[in-house]
Chains A and B, each alone.
Chain A
Amino acid sequence: MNWTRQHPGWAMFAAMIGLLLFLWGMALPLAAAPAPIGPAAEQFADGARITVGLTLIAGSAGVLIGVLAGLGKLSNFWPLRWFCDSYVWLIRGTPLLLQILFVWLALPTIMPAGVELSDFTCAAIALSLNIGAYNTECVRAGILAVPHGQVEAARALGLTPVQTFIDVILPQSMRVALPALANNLASLVKDSSLAYAISVVELTMVGYRVQAESYQPIPVFVTIAAIYLILTTAFTTLTAALEAQLDVGQKR
């Protein structure tokens, strides 16, 4: 990871290109593999794309939720603080699988008529809410780590509270929060597999189906595991590079 630290820009670029090439190119080499892998190559590639799609959507929404709820937890306004505390408590104290099932089964009953939620959408919502709760704690810790003098300097220069937050507090807290946020994202790649329970055809579901048809679980699940490993490695490289990029002001 030394190279990642020294050339964060290139590492991010390489990880992103690598991820794209992998997602859209993996079907080619896989197709050359013997049965049961070869004939299902396209299915594996589709599953991997769904898994990455879920991860990126829930990951981004989760960062947004984490920042908003992290701020809310530090608010002077107690109802907001109470709401954010309860949200984190609720999500962290219940299983992800239950949350996914809840969104899938309960949310449609309270949605206005005519609004259809796809299985994928339900999974994305549940995963966003879940990672958002874990991110909240990281963001909160990051904000608390920003020295008060930074805020005073910004305020003394005439920056408004919102400008102070966006230009000073947020970038500095991200530097502290990023390793933990990156960890959560890497978990999300794997946690998204629980979406199989509500019939989202992501990577794990593909593996389950292919082995059910071929009665050869070992090669199928080894392939699935290898794909997950490549995905988590790509995401870890991406976030490590981002970390190094944000770290510039810290090292001599």
Chain B
Amino acid sequence: MSSEAIPRPIIETRGIGKRFGSFHALKDVSATFHEGQVTAIVGPSGSGKSTFLRTLNRLEAHDSGEIVIDGIVLSDDIRNLNAIRREVGMVFQSFNLFSHLTILRNLTLAPMRVRRMARAAAEEKAMNLLERVGLKTQAGKYPVQLSGGQQQRVAIARALAMDPKVLLFDEPTSALDPEMVNEVLAVMRELAYSGITMLVVTHEMGFAREVADRVIFFDEGVILEDTTPESFFSNPGHERARAFLSQVRHGY
């Protein structure tokens, strides 16, 4: 088996389950994500998309099954956990920028604390990343001084500052005013083409169709469809997926 031909699996989940009390949020979810792959995760509200994403960096602990990230089994072992969190970046719906720190310090905090980077090197890297997301001139401001779209681009840059192998996005544009959605999608599109592995929970079907290599459809805690965007959008296999798509199209 040559490693050039087949991309390396970077996230493997095998039969993961998650309950909140008596509510079964994830039921036996298995999926493998390969290096460089961009996966759009779609599905109705409450279907477990966020929960799935959050088990991957253990913001939620799964109850059963196994998650392997870059060869490391995800468990409560704190060293494994820290190693995994260094490799897996996350972008939240509500940005969650550190409100007491400037934009620059938002980007340098984790590299300096976790990767033990020197301040000068961390700042240089941060400025390069801010340039990449088009916000170099905002480095000295505080998060509240930025628009939602700008904050989300900073949040993406902050995740990138740790050089993650995988980036998880949980509805990165859902909290934004419509006119700011595109600036964030543009940054994500550029990232996708740069070859980073991305898992994107999104309601932006246009983005999923255009940028994703793969679409996963969640419903009631299970993966109902796992296919290419072409096949998912033109010919969904399940009735639930068809209903979901027609509802989304109606909304737009």
Using a CB–CB cutoff of 8 Å, the interface residues on chain A facing chain B are 147, 149-150, 152-160, 163, 167-168, 171-172, 175, 246, 248-252
Contacts and interface: CB of A to CB of B under 8 A. Distances in A.
Interface SS majority for chain B: mixed
Contacts of B86: 158
Contacts of A147: 96
Interface of B: 57, 59, 78, 82, 85-86, 88-90, 92, 94, 96-101, 109-110, 113-114, 142-145, 155, 158-159, 162
B72 to A, nearest CB: 13
A156 B109 contact: no
A149 B96 contact: yes
A159 B114 contact: yes
Nearest to A175: B100
Contacts of A248: 142
Q: In the complex, which of the residues B97, B99, B109 has the most CB atoms of chain A within 10 Å of its own CB atom?
A: B99
Nearest to A164: B113
A157 B92 contact: no
Nearest to B86: A158
A88 B108 CA distance: 38
B90 A251 contact: no
Given A250-B144, A251-B144, A153 B99 contact: no
Nearest to A149: B96
Given A157-B114, A158-B82, A150 B98 contact: yes
A156 B144 contact: no
Given A152-B59, A167-B113, A250-B99, A157 B158 contact: yes
A158 B101 contact: no
A168 B98 contact: yes
Contacts of B158: 157
A168 B109 CA distance: 10
B114 A249 contact: no
Q: Which 10 A-B pairs have the closest CB atoms?
A: A157-B110, A153-B96, A149-B96, A158-B85, A156-B90, A158-B114, A249-B142, A158-B86, A249-B100, A171-B100
Given A159-B113, A249-B144, A250-B99, A153 B92 contact: yes
A242 to B, nearest CB: 14
Contacts of B90: 153, 156
